[in-house]
């Protein structure tokens, strides 16, 4: 018998994390895998249950004030309890063969870098890593001979469509967007959209933040940048098409005119399972498509007026440097203010744009980061600028 694979899951209590644990259990759980580290946030019961069940070496909560609860929940087990960002980094430095990066937001950057530095294969759900620090992350992987496997459904689809192909023959990459719950809403109604309405994704069951990002198309904006950084394709070769059924996840167009589409039920366990079992495929419990029952698949162009996020992403790609880090941070702050009730739905894009404009005027965006610290410094600065912009907008009565 070969040695059991050592695996860690960062963001284990989230939507992607729970789906990852589901697959690990279905593929044998603690008997088949040597589970090193599992991390979570305030949902201590879920974190402790998973750590006990999968016999993890260590469980980490992101929040120090949660450590007593985690210790109590793990009492009598062999699982070590840790807390805080430094503990998260230390856990990512523990040797592992396969690491799932499924923390939401820029908070997921550091653990991914550390996992690559110790040579682990990084299953990357945390698209923010590529948006904020794409060139650095790819270079880190190359430096350590480590591999990054995409876990976003669109990027897993592109990755699969490229198996056995020569990148020189790739003409274009098309990623699909469901269009979110507001695809048909007129602009005036969109401006009054609530958090609950924005969270009601028509096809995918996901965490709160990515669900709202899907409604603004900021998720697709991040994914445009993710595509550029991961596949090394120039922005003008990357397209977004709205496909309300979420059955075709992405397409790759080749120089002979062929367009290879990847189709499947909207269930993240497909992309997670592909990354877990790559280069093999294994049975995964996703629904099988009945094309006749589906009847039709439709496609339309995204509306740039109601959904400015894609235009902003293109500007970010043109700027390069630290623009991606600023874009992601500003988007996270705008989202915080929308969730907290201080900002209207349509104001989120305005706050992001105002932040980018202000930082561009200070000539801070074109600077190429020399390391993760530069990225995190821009992340911090952009959060301050975006929070000011959000307060100014709310104060002007436009919230
Ligand atoms: P989620 O909100 O359901 O879970 C987030 C996880 O991150 C939780 O375990 C939470 O405890 C942890 N976390 C949150 N803040 C943290 C912090 N400050 N420090 C440390 N840990 C923290 O999110 P999700 O929907 O599972 O998404 C996770 C990532 O995967 C995101 O980057 C998202 O864009 C990406 N992704 C998600 C989906 C999906 O279907 N949910 C699809 C593609 C990509
Ligand atoms: Mg996606």
Predicted pLDDT at 165: 98
Ligand with the closest atom to the CA of 214: 2
- Residue 327: both structure tokens together: 């874009």
Predicted pLDDT at 3: 86
**Cα–Cα distance for residue pair 131/154, rounded to 1 Å:** 15
Q: Tally Cβ neighbours within 10 Å of residue 310.
A: 18
pLDDT digit string, tens, across residues 262-321 = 999 999 999 999 999 999 999 999 999 999 999 999 999 999 999 999 999 999 999 999
For the whole model, what pTM was predicted? 0.97
Predicted pLDDT at 395: 79
Predicted pLDDT at 394: 86
Ligand with the closest atom to the CA of 50: 1
pLDDT digit string, tens, across residues 74-128 = 999 999 999 999 999 999 999 999 999 999 999 999 999 999 999 999 999 999 9
pLDDT at 397 over 70: no
125 lines ligand 1 (CB under 6 A): yes
CATH code assigned at 16: 3.40.50.720
Task: Say whether 45 sits in a helix, a strand or coil.
Answer: helix
342 lines ligand 1 (CB under 6 A): no
**Cα–Cα distance for residue pair 43/66, rounded to 1 Å:** 9
pLDDT digit string, tens, across residues 310-369 = 999 999 999 999 999 999 999 999 999 999 999 999 999 999 999 999 999 999 999 999
* Residues 48-53, mean pLDDT to the nearest whole number: 98
CA–centroid distance, residue 103 to ligand 1 (Å): 4
Predicted pLDDT at 1: 53
345 within some domain: no
CA–centroid distance, residue 57 to ligand 2 (Å): 31
27 within some domain: yes
107 lines ligand 1 (CB under 6 A): yes
**Cα–Cα distance for residue pair 276/273, rounded to 1 Å:** 5
206 lines ligand 1 (CB under 6 A): yes
* Residues 211-238, mean pLDDT to the nearest whole number: 98
Total domains in the fold of the chain: 1
* Residues 12-34, mean pLDDT to the nearest whole number: 98
Longest dimension (CA), the chain: 66
254 within some domain: no
359 within some domain: no
pLDDT at 138 over 60: yes
Candidate from 125, 158, 205, 270 with most ligand 1 atoms within 8 A of CB, to mutate? 125
Whose C-alpha lies nearest to ligand 1, atom 30?
125
Report the percentage of the chain scoring pLDDT > 70: 99
CA–centroid distance, residue 352 to ligand 1 (Å): 21
340 within some domain: no
Task: Say whether 283 sits in a helix, a strand or coil.
Answer: coil
pLDDT digit string, tens, across residues 241-266 = 999 999 999 999 999 999 999 999 99
Report the percentage of the chain scoring pLDDT > 90: 97
Residue-number span of the structural domain to which 117 is assigned: 5-150
* Residues 207-236, mean pLDDT to the nearest whole number: 97
Interacting residues of 254 by C-beta distance below 8 A, sequence separation 6+:
165, 169, 170, 171, 260
296 within some domain: no
How far out from the chain centre does Cα 382 lie? 19
Residues surrounding ion ligand 2 at CB below 5 Å: 152-154
271 lines ligand 1 (CB under 6 A): no
Query: How many CA atoms, within 13 angstroms, populate the side-chain half-sphere of residue 275?
Result: 34
pLDDT band at 399 (very low <50, low <70, confident <90, very high): very low
CA–centroid distance, residue 190 to ligand 2 (Å): 22
128 lines ligand 1 (CB under 6 A): yes
Ligand with the closest atom to the CA of 88: 1
β-partners of residue 250 are 175, 262
396 within some domain: no
Interacting residues of 286 by C-beta distance below 8 A, sequence separation 6+:
264, 265, 267, 269, 270
- Report the chain's mean pLDDT, rounded to a whole number: 97
140 within some domain: yes
């Amino acid at each position: 018998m070969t040695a059991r694979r050592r695996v860690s899951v960062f963001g284990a209590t989230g939507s992607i994390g729970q789906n990852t644990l589901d697959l690990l259990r279905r593929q044998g759980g603690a008997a088949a895998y040597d589970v090193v580290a599992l991390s979570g946030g305030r949902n201590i019961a879920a974190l402790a249950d998973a750590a006990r069940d999968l016999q993890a070496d260590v469980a980490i909560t992101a929040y120090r004030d949660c450590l007593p609860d985690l210790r109590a929940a793990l009492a009598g087990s062999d699982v070590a309890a840790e807390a805080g960002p430094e503990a998260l980094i230390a856990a990512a430095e523990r040797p592992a063969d396969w690491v799932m990066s499924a923390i939401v937001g820029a908070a997921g950057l550091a653990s991914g870098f550390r996992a690559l530095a110790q040579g682990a294969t990084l299953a990357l759900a945390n698209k923010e890593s590529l948006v904020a620090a794409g060139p650095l992350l790819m270079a880190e992987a190359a430096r350590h001979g480590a591999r990054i496997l995409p876990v976003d459904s669109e990027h897993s689809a592109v990755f699969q469509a490229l198996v056995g192909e020569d990148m020189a023959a790739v003409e274009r990459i098309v990623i699909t967007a469901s269009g979110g719950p507001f695809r048909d809403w007129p602009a005036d109604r969109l401006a009054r959209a609530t958090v609950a309405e924005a969270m009601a994704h028509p096809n995918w069951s996901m965490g709160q933040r990515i669900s709202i990002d899907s409604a603004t198309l900021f998720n697709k904006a991040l994914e445009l940048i993710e595509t550029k950084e991961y596949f090394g394709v120039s922005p003008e070769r990357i397209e977004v098409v709205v496909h309300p059924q979420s059955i075709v996840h992405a397409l790759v167009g080749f120089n002979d005119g062929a367009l290879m589409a990847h189709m499947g039920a909207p269930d993240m366990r497909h992309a997670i399972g592909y990354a877990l079992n790559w280069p093999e495929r294994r049975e995964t419990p996703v629904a099988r498509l009945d094309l006749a029952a589906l009847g039709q698949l439709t496609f339309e162009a995204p509306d740039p007026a109601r959904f400015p996020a894609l235009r902003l992403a293109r500007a970010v790609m043109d700027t390069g440097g630290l623009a991606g880090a600023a874009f992601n941070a500003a988007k996270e702050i705008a989202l915080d203010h929308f969730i907290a009730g201080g900002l209207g739905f349509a104001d989120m894009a305005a706050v992001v744009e105002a932040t980018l404009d202000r930082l561009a005027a200070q000539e801070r965006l074109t600077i190429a980061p020399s390391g993760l610290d530069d990225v995190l410094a821009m992340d911090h600065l952009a959060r301050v600028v975006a929070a000011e912009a959000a307060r100014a907008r709310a104060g002007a009565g436009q919230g």
